Amino acid sequence: AQSVTQLDSQVPVFEEAPVELRCNYSSSVSVYLFWYVQYPNQGLQLLLKYLSGSTLVKSINGFEAEFNKSQTSFHLRKPSVHISDTAEYFCAVSISGNTGKLIFGQGTTLQVKP
């Protein structure tokens, strides 16, 4: 069975500082990896995804994540955060070629302080 562990439940950081949100997964088969962001009282928004190819994937708003197969990790990073990045971030996996089912981590709340 697949599982996802987000190692930090809360990450406080000052504005313009770098941040890393950690995600490890467990799976005996090939997986796709995703990061979603959730703002208060809203649904989930896809931030970025890794399907195959280059292990470094980037979003349009400055986030990036690197797939590390040997360490089964998919950590999310941003070199300089803004107040508006304050939200909950979810790492998720799905089995390659499977249908519809995403397995989510417990989420990491990113708190950006001025």
Partner 1 sequence: KAGVTQTPRYLIKTRGQQVTLSCSPISGHRSVSWYQQTPGQGLQFLFEYFSETQRNKGNFPGRFSGRQFSNSRSEMNVSTLELGDSALYLCASSSGQNTNYGYTFGSGTRLTVV
Q: What is the DSSP letter of 83?
A: G
106 forms part of the interface with partner 1 (CB under 8 A):
yes
3-class state of residue 85 by DSSP: helix
Give the shortest CB-15-to-partner 1 separation in angstroms. Answer: 27
CA proximity to 92, closest of 11, 21, 32: 32
Cβ neighbours of 23 (radius 10 Å): 26
Stretch that binds partner 1, among 12-20, 21-29, 41-49, 71-79 (CB under 8 A): 41-49
The correct pick among 11, 21, 94, 110 for binding partner 1 (CB under 8 A) is 94
How far apart CA 6 and CA 95 sit, in angstroms, is: 18
The correct pick among 5, 77, 102, 111 for binding partner 1 (CB under 8 A) is 102
Stretch that binds partner 1, among 16-24, 32-40, 57-65, 72-80 (CB under 8 A): 32-40
